[in-house]
């Protein structure tokens, strides 16, 4: 007996309807369906299967299927059903752009062979115990203070460290090779990180030991010289003001009654202001407030970087230009709005004693401090030339990209080539 085709179709539709309502999928009001490729595994041992191992792989696990996870308050205890086949790893996802970007982010270089959830791409400088439960260790501190020091400046360094609370990890870069003596005199030294490399400058250490992935947990990084008088400085209050005024790169104001200055913009204003961002006049002929160093400027002696700003500034440090001259004139590149996000904190100020400690590390047989300063000036010229050439190359690339885009938009749409007639 032949079945009626109409009755067959209606019966199939009814069966499909009842199967569908048996597995409901709820869509939240702020969610839209998205598509996701289920991870799949083939063979034993969890290794990734190749395209040729179809007999040991789950084909359904490789299909693109729509699914969402409901965040409805009426369904807080259960997620929407996710199709899962044998040997396939169940995965949930939302349809937010951030979640999609996180899923699609490639693994760090060198970690491609590792399962993603074991990869740790960031670190810190917080010391741990050799004993006990790792989960009970003291937490990583919020901020980082780094100083390039010699033992002859121990008294001033000690006074500076005491201006920083327990919210700071402390890291000392020793250019004179003397490290153990610090522990003998200062209890805080036993909890500090000590790095020793003879006759090196601050930016040499910073490039090699302060990679953004190493200091990522710290909200602010203080990269200070050793010759700053901090009698009227409080680090916690400084951080509060920097955060309040939205400064990504900053420095304390300089008290010129007790120390030296190079630029007017870094001089502390004694008018009751908490911060200032610009100046007019003084060294550098600041007739235009929108030029460096009249605004958007922080000097290299005592800069303080937010996490994001340091990630940019680190990449600008040149491996072979260790004095860092010229960097401060280009820190503005590392914030969105230099005239708003860079500034000098007047309410928390220091005095720059300008002790020529690095000059003493020069080779006396070849001129000592004079040769050190001559190299710094040479590095300044080299850095300016490099960044000028880099700007020109970047501008040329942008012009080429714009020209290519314009040519592409003006080109006629490609037509489909004529197809041979089908054989009957």
Question: Quick one: 58 and 141 in the same domain?
Answer: no
Domain carrying residue 292:
137-363
Question: Quick one: 218 and 292 in the same domain?
Answer: yes
β-pairing, 193-196 with 304-306?
Answer: unpaired
How far is Cα 58 from Cα 203, in angstroms, rounded to an integer?
54
User: pLDDT digits over 155-174, tens only?
Assistant: 999 999 999 999 999 999 99
Among 363, 384, 413, where does a domain finish?
363
Q: What is the pTM of this model?
A: 0.70
Question: Quick one: 324 and 252 in the same domain?
Answer: yes
Question: Quick one: 344 and 207 in the same domain?
Answer: yes
β-pairing, 342-352 with 275-276?
Answer: antiparallel
Q: Which residues pair with 287 in a beta bridge?
A: none
Question: Quick one: 47 and 141 in the same domain?
Answer: no
Question: Quick one: 241 and 200 in the same domain?
Answer: yes
pLDDT recorded at residue 46: 37
Whether residue 215 lies inside any domain: the answer is: yes
How far is Cα 312 from Cα 308, in angstroms, rounded to an integer?
7
How far is Cα 167 from Cα 181, in angstroms, rounded to an integer?
25
- Per the structure, the count of domains in the chain is 2
- pLDDT class of 17 with cuts at 50, 70, 90: low
Q: Which of 260, 259, 226 is nearest to 152 (CA)?
A: 226
Among 327, 348, 363, where does a domain finish?
363
- pLDDT class of 303 with cuts at 50, 70, 90: very high
Q: Please, what sign has the CA dihedral across residues 172, 251, 257, 380?
A: positive
What CATH number has the domain bearing residue 267? 3.90.550
pLDDT recorded at residue 111: 87
How far is Cα 161 from Cα 170, in angstroms, rounded to an integer?
8
pLDDT recorded at residue 137: 87
Whether residue 164 lies inside any domain: the answer is: yes
- pLDDT class of 355 with cuts at 50, 70, 90: confident
Strands (E), 265-327: 275-276, 304-306
Instruction: Name every residue whose Cβ is closer than 8 Å to that of residue 68 and which is 6 or more positions away in sequence.
Output: 25, 26, 27, 28, 31, 32, 33, 34, 80, 94, 95
User: pLDDT digits over 219-259, tens only?
Assistant: 999 999 999 999 999 999 999 999 999 999 999 999 998 98
Q: Provide the token pair at 389.
A: 């050439």
DSSP H/E element including 34: strand 34-37
User: pLDDT digits over 111-129, tens only?
Assistant: 888 999 999 888 888 888 8
Q: In this structure, how many other beta carbons lie within 10 angstroms of the beta carbon of residue 389?
A: 10
**pLDDT of 70 higher than 60:** no
Whether residue 421 lies inside any domain: the answer is: no
| pLDDT, average across residues 209-226 | 96
DSSP H/E element including 66: strand 64-67
Whether residue 178 lies inside any domain: the answer is: yes
Whether residue 284 lies inside any domain: the answer is: yes
- 3-state secondary structure at position 184: helix
Whether residue 313 lies inside any domain: the answer is: yes
**pLDDT of 82 higher than 90:** no
The answer, yes or no, to whether the previous bond of 293 is cis (omega within 30 of 0) is yes
| pLDDT, average across residues 324-349 | 95
**pLDDT of 272 higher than 50:** yes
- pLDDT class of 197 with cuts at 50, 70, 90: very high
Q: Which range scores top for mean pLDDT: 256-260, 267-271, 346-350, 371-375? A: 346-350
Strands (E), 212-335: 220-224, 228-229, 249-254, 275-276, 304-306
Q: What are phi and psi of 354, to 5 degrees?
A: 55, 50
């Amino acid at each position: 007996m032949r079945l009626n085709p109409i009755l067959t179709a209606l019966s199939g539709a009814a069966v499909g309807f009842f199967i569908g309502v048996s597995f409901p999928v709820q869509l939240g009001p702020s969610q839209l369906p998205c598509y996701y490729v289920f991870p799949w595994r083939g063979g034993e041992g969890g290794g990734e299967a190749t395209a040729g191992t179809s007999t040991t792989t789950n084909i359904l696990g490789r299909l693109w299927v729509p699914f969402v996870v409901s965040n409805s308050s009426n369904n807080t205890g259960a997620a929407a059903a996710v199709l899962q086949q044998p040997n396939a790893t169940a995965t949930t996802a939302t349809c937010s752009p951030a979640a999609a970007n996180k899923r699609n982010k490639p693994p760090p270089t060198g970690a491609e062979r590792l399962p993603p959830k074991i990869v740790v791409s960031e670190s810190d400088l917080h010391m741990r115990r050799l004993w006990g439960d790792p989960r009970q260790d003291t937490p990583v501190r919020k901020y980082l203070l780094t100083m390039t020091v010699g033992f002859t400046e121990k008294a001033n360094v000690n006074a500076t460290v005491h201006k920083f609370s327990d919210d700071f990890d402390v890291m000392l870069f020793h250019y004179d090779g003397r490290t153990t003596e610090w522990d003998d005199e200062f209890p805080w030294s036993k909890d500090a990180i000590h790095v020793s490399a003879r006759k090196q400058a601050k930016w040499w250490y910073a490039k090699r030991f302060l990679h953004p992935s190493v200091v990522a947990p710290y909200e602010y990084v203080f990269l200070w010289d050793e010759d700053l008088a901090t009698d009227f400085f409080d680090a916690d209050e400084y951080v509060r003001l920097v955060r309040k005024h939205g400064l990504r790169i900053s420095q304390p104001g300089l008290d010129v009654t007790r120390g030296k200055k190079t630029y007017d913009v870094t001089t502390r204003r004694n008018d009751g202001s908490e911060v200032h961002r610009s100046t007019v006049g003084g060294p550098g002929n600041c007739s235009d407030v929108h030029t460096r160093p009249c605004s958007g400027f922080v000097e290299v002696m005592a800069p303080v970087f937010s996490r994001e700003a340091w990630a940019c500034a680190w990449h600008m440090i040149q491996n072979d230009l260790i004095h860092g001259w010229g960097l401060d004139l280009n820190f503005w590149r590392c914030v969105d709005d230099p005239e708003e996000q860079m500034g000098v904190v007047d309410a928390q100020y220091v005095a720059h004693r300008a002790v020529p400690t690095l000059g003493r590390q020069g080779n006396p047989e070849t001129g000592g401090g004079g040769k050190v300063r001559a190299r710094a000036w040479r590095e300044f010229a080299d850095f300016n030339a490099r960044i000028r050439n880099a700007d020109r190359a970047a501008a040329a690339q942008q012009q080429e990209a714009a020209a290519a885009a314009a040519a592409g938009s003006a080109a006629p749409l490609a037509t489909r080539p004529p197809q041979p007639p089908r054989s009957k």
